[in-house]
Structure 1
Amino acid sequence: MTISIGNDHAGTDYKNEIISFLEKNKINVINHGTNTNDSVDYPDFVHPVAKDVEEAKVEFGIIICGSGNGASMTANKHQNVRCALCWTNEITKLARAHNDANILSIPARFTSMPQAIDMVKSFIATPFEGGRHQKRVEKIACK
């Protein structure tokens, strides 16, 4: 499995911990994020992640910014991207199971590091249920 990850300055520490967790679990990571805490523009780091997902170069994406909102809005401009802004483990599981989310947006200023790692674990492990949710997911993208 390969996961693309991107972050702005608010998410650098979270990204580093998440990458460490993923690599310990033998998951390949493509890092598009900044490596500093110097102020940057989140779209510059989110678009490459969304493009990786859009072009099916990776199974999932993870993006991290202060609130998670700007990053999520940016990612969802891409076709075939279903980015979910999650701040609890339960929401993360539902985003995968019901919405077939393929990018997880983490709000670094509103989740703890252990919460973020738990959300990443759930995001990777939770399958899409399909069934009644499939037709709804098919209606998300504008054509």
Structure 2
Amino acid sequence: MTLPAEIAAVAFTNKALIYDLLFRTASETMMTIAADPKHLGARIGITAVLHIWGSAMTHHPHVHMIVPGGGIATDGSRWISSRPAFLLPVRVLGVLFRRLFLTRLIALHAAGKLAFFGKLEELADPRRRPSSRPFRLCA
């Protein structure tokens, strides 16, 4: 799951807060959608790795996740395999991830926990809100 450039710029000077938020939100998104019986109906395991640079060697924070092709039924009785083509629907993941991440980012901003420098100094104004441009989910 990838942060858009506007939020990546905020992450550059707020690494601990934003990267923690990225990990927590990405994993919660995956586990929530996987547990939903409409999608997989299982508890999944995740190994996640933070990459902060893209292939062009620019600041491009994103999380790669390794997830098994299924999970343990929520009652613990059996293994549930994912569909052959994909584990979980990307659009559904994106909607939940954006909502959770932006809600929590706005809360950090409102609490005055984010630092802004240079071109981003105007964002220190509590009346400003983070960008709502869609996030891109890595496939």
TM-score range, shorter chain: under 0.3
Task: Considering Cα pairs closer than 8 Å and 6+ residues apart, tell me whether 1 or 2 has the greater RCO.
Answer: 2
Query: What TM-score results when the alignment is normalised by the length of structure 1?
Result: 0.26
Larger radius of gyration: 2
Higher helix share: 1
Query: What TM-score results when the alignment is normalised by the length of structure 2?
Result: 0.26
